[in-house]
Copies of this chain bind each other. A is one copy, B any other.
């Protein structure tokens, strides 16, 4: 891990925020070639509501297309399509399409002619392929490893020994066990006419073996710190942003998981301390109040 300042990450000087609240970078990519993998990633990362809406829409569109095809081929090639009205005929074609696509195939509607039979066979295969894809996507959505780290809303400048320290607090959003968890912080400074610089900050402790409750990550402001002697106003002038990278081993997925976060200079609380967020109850259990993660008290 390079410990010196560097300046070629390239994120611009005017950017509102380097890292978004969801951990993505505030970057637009142009001229990027299409790949199926981006399609897969989008399908994995979209919300459940979006995923279900998209799935149902696609299923409906496919079935409408096949229904139109059956309707076009005509009633003469379908057993059980005895109505005289076109609307009912089309609806029956749609129902036949659904019954074929899902392979339910009751049989009160069935293909009679050769062309109709071929199209129906093709639709049944299409249906099985589509549900094979959906099965894979559902599993991919469920099983995708990712750290769900909750971060305190603010970065806090708290007294520390003789001087100051920058602190923030994290906890696990899930019930899973995260082990061997490591934290890294880069501070990024900008300024008028200057390129952005990125400097790693030394931490009081950069890793913990176990992470059952919360963990307060502390950067003590020593003389070597790029934050030494910097006031609130100076940080604002430098457009300071703190980029956080958390890495740990997640026991549920048996894989290393990462989380990226950032705090801007205007999310710093000066002269405060985090409140304790756990207590022992009467049964001897430790009770962690996850919703108190961001709670702090001003230092008198």
Q: Would A286 and B26 count as touching, CB distance under 8 A? A: yes
**Interface assignment of A229: CB less than 8 Å from any CB of chain B:** no
Counting contact residues on chain A (CB < 8 A from B), the size range is: 35 or more
How long is the Cα–Cα vector from A130 to B117 in the complex, in angstroms?
A: 21
Instruction: Enumerate chain B residues within 8 angstroms of A92, measured Cβ to Cβ.
Output: 117
> Which B residues touch A142, using CB under 8 A?
36-37, 40, 136-137, 140
**Is A46's beta carbon under 8 Å from chain B?**
no
Q: Is A252 an interface residue (CB 8 A)?
A: yes
Chain A 59-74 interface 0/1 with B at a Cβ cutoff of 8 Å (1 = within): 1000100000000000
The answer, yes or no, to whether A54 is at the interface (CB within 8 Å) is no
- Contact A105-B99, Cβ < 8 Å, known A134-B132, A179-B245, A281-B28: yes
Chain A 235-274: CB-based contact to B (< 8 A → 1; otherwise 0) = 0000000010100010111111110100000000000000
Quick one: given A11-B213, A15-B286, A28-B281, are A108 and B121 in contact (CB under 8 Å)?
no
Identify 25 residue pairs between A and B in the complex whose beta-carbon atoms are under 8 Å apart, listed by A's number: A10-B212, A10-B213, A11-B212, A15-B286, A25-B212, A27-B285, A28-B281, A92-B117, A95-B111, A100-B104, A102-B121, A102-B125, A102-B127, A104-B105, A107-B107, A107-B110, A108-B110, A129-B131, A132-B135, A133-B138, A136-B138, A139-B139, A140-B142, A144-B254, A145-B254
The 10 closest A-B pairs by CB, nearest first: A31-B291, A136-B139, A98-B121, A107-B107, A102-B124, A12-B280, A145-B254, A104-B105, A25-B212, A132-B135
